[in-house]
């Protein structure tokens, strides 16, 4: 896979932490940033999938939800 070069401005303390982590893990700062971006995007994809699943479920009113919580002993 071909990489694309970009300029990213990081907080100096964050950059220092990334450099230390890179040495500790034998990875480059670029690899760490790519990994973090992939994880963030994967989390977003999971959230979108969960929202799409919930969209198909019927909505209930606030009153009905409170009633169910009381019946279940949660309130």
Longest dimension (CA), the chain: 58
What is the predicted pLDDT for the residue at 52? 86
Q: In tens digits, what is the pLDDT along the chain, a chain of 75 residues?
A: 789 999 999 999 999 999 999 999 999 999 999 999 999 989 988 888 888 888 888 888 999 999 999 999 998
- Residues 33, 23 contacting (CB under 8 angstroms): no
Q: Is the dihedral of CA 69, 71, 72, 74 positive or negative?
A: positive
Distances (CA, A) of 51 to 12, 26, 46, 47, 64: 37, 37, 9, 6, 21
In the block, which residue shows the tokens 């907080």? 11
Tokens matching residue 67? 């009633």
What is the predicted pLDDT for the residue at 22? 98
């Amino acid at each position: 896979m071909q990489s694309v070069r970009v300029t990213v401005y990081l907080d100096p303390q964050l950059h220092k932490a990334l450099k230390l982590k890179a040495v500790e893990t034998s990875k480059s700062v670029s690899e760490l940033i790519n990994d973090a971006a992939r994880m963030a995007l994967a989390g977003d994809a999971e959230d979108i999938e969960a929202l799409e699943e919930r969209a198909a479920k019927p909505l209930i009113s606030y009153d009905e939800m409170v009633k169910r919580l009381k019946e279940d002993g949660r309130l």
